[in-house]
Structure 1
Amino acid sequence: MDHLPTGWLSLANGKPHTFFPHPSFHRSLQNRKKLPISFDGESEVDLPINLTPPHNLHQVVPTRLRKKENGKILAGPFIAILSSDHRYPFSGNHYNFRDIIKMGKKMGVTVYVTTPKYLSQTGDVVKGYLLDSRSKRIKWVPAILPRPNVIYNRIPSRKAEKQVSVQAVLKQIKHSSTPIFNPHYFDKWTLHKQLSSDENCAKYLPATMRIDQESVLKTLLASHNSIMLKPIEGKAGIGMMKVTKKPAGYECIIQTLREKKRYNLATISDVWRVISPHLQRRAYIGQQYIPLAHYGNCPFDVRMLCQKNMNGEWGLTGVGIRVAGEKSITTHVPMGGRIESAAKVFTSVFGDQEAKKLRDKLERIGITIAKTIEKKQGYPLGEMSMDIGLESNGRPWFFEANAKPMKFDEPNIREKSLRRLIQYCLYLSEKAKKNQETRA
């Protein structure tokens, strides 16, 4: 498919109205008044060409044009960020959505936000929200837009995603020709079972059990002096607990967003009595405690972001460090942790030579685990973040993966992650169009 001019489209009720080519293409189009453009690869619309750059860019959307093998000119792709309807105009991290949309604009691609309610409706247009480029603060403009060529699932909570109406829409998308990636959240127990069945991944997993009765807790503590208890569907370290053997019994630390409670208990039955109320509210796993390497007298672990690239291949986008806060049992920033540079920490802790080797090793591990998770989950994934623990000798341990990563605050990782996200969406759109042409 040959590349044609990029530019802007003005829309009226979701339909293309006028094409404004980028100034660099004016010469090649100066003798043409109209351009036949297709959105679905079939029907065409003769769009007027306006060589005068649009005065108000907020009234138009960026687009790419490509010529198909059958000679038709295709506009797009249009990328939809799928959020939920719980707040007006929609839920989710609006700062993240803004950044994605801005990167799309830089790359000549329209990205908009929509919700299951709107995607459930039939037709070749959909209601969505565009970022108001005139506003200094984040402001959303409702618009009728072409249906998306690619859907990026950012429904912001498991509760919202599990709703019957939302599941119906996700099922509808799955059986359509529109690619969607990262359609579901992960859970820690399922991930552990999937990875433990793969010999290339199992060696990086701490001993892990589903904690659903006292005898399981007793078994795990018989083999390990200290264990971590983690909500299977938890996030940000909220609700995590640590149980440690002591000469006179057990110490149990329970971490919530507001406080950390410490208990000194005589028996395992006492431990079970204290943790049971938490286990009744949600499911937990118990995991062998890994003594982490320290930086500045505080334990740290590694956050890795793996994404697919413009060729649909997994790669490592970036590595960050999270250093635990004082008295915290985890490194999560909401729990008092802080961000540090991976290069600085690795060099300080392991030395110059080992730092490079370690990063290369982490990249291999991350890509191996990402490929395995995608294969075992059985649906397309485009990105995931991972928590990796390192012992003082550099031995790596896989803790968890997140199907809907929080944004990385490191500027270089953030920029690269946004660009890769749009590149992967372009890849998916191209692949879907080729599949449609093959079937036709």
Structure 2
Amino acid sequence: MSFPQIQVIVKPRKPLNKNDCLVQISEPLFTSLQLGRKLPLNIKVGHKSLQLTAQLADLDLNTLHIPENILKKFCLPVQSYKFQAIYRSETLTLELGPVIGLLTDFPSNRQDEPHFRSIHAFCEELHQGISETGGFFYVFAYNEFLNNGFYLSNGKWCPFEHPLPDVIYNRIHSRKLEQSKPFKLFRNRLETLSIPLFNERFLSKWEVYNQIFQEKHLFPYLPKTKTYTIEHLHELALECETVFIKPAHGSQGRNIIKLKKEDDGRYTLQSSIASLNDNFYGRYSLEEIHHLIKPILHNRLFIIQQGVELNKYESCSMDFRVLCHKNRNNHWQVTSVVARVAAKDEFVSNIARGGKMLRPLNVLRTSLGHKKAIEVLAHMKELALETASIISISSTGITGELGIDIGVDQEGKLWIIEVNSKPSKNFEDGLGKIRPSAKALIQFCTMLAFDTMIIKED
């Protein structure tokens, strides 16, 4: 069942007394929301609902005035808001939202303003976008849930006791933290409270490979991949000129080893691990390589992946990051594509390791020509959307955002390199504007918030 959703302006007013529960509503808002003339009105913000009394007032279009004491009961700072709103006539409930909480981990110091590490500027961007479209946004750490969060006011992140959100966007930086017992208890608490959390965990490279591998029509786009064992090392290294050894739970190009077969049948080693590059150079047998890297493995799951001779840009390694997001209709869309060009003497293109971003079509033209470049870019977007759909269906929980890394070989063939559930926010140049990826996230959160409300109460 669908309900009309409109933007409303909420303004605080001084309460007449400590029990003031009178909400003043403009005539146009009554009409737009089809409120009828019934005076009792439930107002719901986040997961809290209060029974109030509605009164028509001579106010601006789509405006309502709420006493400051009521805003405080909703755990909202006393300020003006723009919200999305729907009205459910059968329960006399006006729902205002979405209330969106971003979950992350950051240094905690009550005396200083918080810094949200690599996503700090992105949090400011989300605040701006949500304030413009309607809603309330705050940032919190899981161990401070409902005790202390931070909202942006006049350019400063201010602490407050935050409300229960409609939806939570997970941007935890640490895989280890996500696997900890306290965090799992927090997740259980969210399930009890029926609060949706999307992109709830990092993805494993081995898990992603197997999910895509099940789709036979995508098999040609996958480099051959196996879990690391000495037997699999021999098997793939003898079959392929180049292989990569990667941690299944790694990110940002860390702890990756590249082996290249030389003419004498031995192998050279290149790594994003500085100690390996500094201490081991020359040519090695596979047994020697296994011995060299065994201390690095630490009994963790690593994969071995076929190395593909991808197109380069100015002699530097290159791949493409395709950002995909679900929109308000719960459909996947491509929100941006960038070419990632590795720094000189680096074999990984990650921006965290000095890579740079370029426009994809300009880069593809240099090696494929104009017509072929347009075809390849269109195919790349289709492949990314298909991959995102498969991963979201196959993975547990709610997935609303994925970064798909795709390589292009010298013939223009596409290869799925990696899928990231928490892609970097440094790939688009927003120039002070709300980027398409942020807009898509806001749409998805709004859809989750209001759909959850409807499902919960039916």
Q: TM-score, normalised by structure 2?
A: 0.83
Q: Distance in 2 between matches of 1:79 and 1:18?
A: 26
Q: Which moved more, 1:167-176 or 1:298-307?
A: 167-176
Q: Does residue 447 of structure 2 align to residue 431 of structure 1?
A: no
2:418 to 400, 416, 437: 400
Residues 225 and 26 from structure 1, CA distance in 2 versus in 1: closer, same or farther, beyond 3 angstroms? same
2:40–2:54 contact (8 Å) kept in structure 1:
yes
Q: What's the CA shift for 1:72?
A: 2.2
Q: Distance in 1 between matches of 2:239 and 2:12?
A: 66
Query: Who is 1:6 aligned against?
Result: 8
Question: Residues 172-321 of structure 1: matches in 2 within 5 Å?
Answer: 172-211=189-228, 213-248=229-264, 249-256=266-273, 260-261=277-278, 263-280=281-298, 282-321=300-339
1:7–1:20 contact (8 Å) kept in structure 2:
no
SS at match of 1:145: coil
Extract unaligned runs of 5+ from structure 2. Answer: 66-76
Q: Does residue 40 of structure 2 align to residue 38 of structure 1?
A: no
Residues 27 and 207 from structure 1, CA distance in 2 versus in 1: closer, same or farther, beyond 3 angstroms? closer
Q: Distance in 1 between matches of 2:375 and 2:301?
A: 38
Query: Who is 1:418 aligned against?
Result: 438
Q: Which amino acid aligns with 2:339?
A: I
Q: Which moved more, 1:57-66 or 1:303-312?
A: 57-66
Q: What's the CA shift for 1:305?
A: 0.3
Q: Which moved more, 1:98-107 or 1:64-73?
A: 64-73
Q: CA RMSD in A?
A: 3.4
Q: Which amino acid aligns with 1:146?
A: P
Q: Distance in 2 between matches of 1:346 and 1:286?
A: 28
2:372 to 328, 332, 354: 354
1:148–1:178 contact (8 Å) kept in structure 2:
yes
Query: Who is 1:168 aligned against?
Result: 185
1:5–1:21 contact (8 Å) kept in structure 2:
no
Question: Residues 335-354 of structure 1: matches in 2 within 5 Å?
Answer: 335-354=353-372
SS at match of 2:281: strand
Q: Distance in 2 between matches of 1:378 and 1:17?
A: 42
Q: Which amino acid aligns with 2:247?
A: P
TM-superposition CA deviations, 1:119-165 (whole Å, max 9, x none) = 3x6xxxx6421012x23xxx311123331011111112112212211
Q: What's the CA shift for 1:265?
A: 2.8
SS at match of 1:2: coil
Q: TM-score, normalised by structure 1?
A: 0.86
Q: Which amino acid aligns with 2:183?
A: V
Q: Distance in 2 between matches of 1:329 and 1:76?
A: 46
2:120 to 94, 103, 110: 94
Q: What's the CA shift for 1:388?
A: 0.7
Q: Distance in 2 between matches of 1:200 and 1:373?
A: 15
Question: How many residues end up aligned between the 2 structures?
Answer: 423
Query: Who is 2:69 aligned against?
Result: none
Residues 32 and 329 from structure 1, CA distance in 2 versus in 1: closer, same or farther, beyond 3 angstroms? same
Q: What's the CA shift for 1:58?
A: 8.1
Residues 75 and 379 from structure 1, CA distance in 2 versus in 1: closer, same or farther, beyond 3 angstroms? same
Q: Does residue 93 of structure 2 align to residue 72 of structure 1?
A: yes
Q: What's the CA shift for 1:27?
A: 11
Query: Who is 2:152 aligned against?
Result: 131
